[in-house]
Amino acid sequence: MTHSFVVHVPDAELEPEPLDPGQIVSGTPEVTGKVVWESPDGRRLRGVWQITPGVVTDTEADEMFVVLSGSATIEVAGGATLTVGPGDLAVLREGDRTTWTVHETLRKAYAIDLGGR
């Protein structure tokens, strides 16, 4: 088990996570991120993620996140449209098909559970 720790999210150094070109709807969004903790079985991840403005699609994992900076509108296919900004906590369900319209570079801290499959 990893020792307890703290990460200052606004200044966390992130690594490029190139998007699949098929996910980009418009603009030239760039994604960076860093996994700061992973369970031994690889099913639980905690980290920091950032995306620059643009529109992208995704299929979600079971995720809870808190937005630190920036803003986006997340349309869930067949579901709600979520507007997120600094201080917002959001929950996405595994399998949700989403379209993210990122208005200002968004940085979030997240917890993902990949389940037992």
For the chain, the straight-line distance linking the first and the last C-alpha, in angstroms and rounded, comes to 22
Q: Which residues contact 37 (CB under 8 A, 6 or more apart)?
A: 2, 5, 45, 46, 47
pLDDT value at residue 116: 58
pLDDT by residue (tens digit) across 37-56? 999 999 999 999 999 999 99
Of the candidates 59, 69, 63, 47, the one whose C-alpha atom is nearest the C-alpha of residue 100 is 59
Tell me: pLDDT of 1 over 80: no
For residues 63 and 43, the answer to whether their CB atoms sit within 8 Å is no
pLDDT value at residue 115: 76
pLDDT by residue (tens digit) across 84-116? 999 999 999 999 999 999 999 999 999 999 975
Going along the chain from its start, the domains and CATH numbers come out as 15-113 (2.60.120.10)
Tell me: pLDDT of 31 over 90: yes
pLDDT value at residue 2: 64
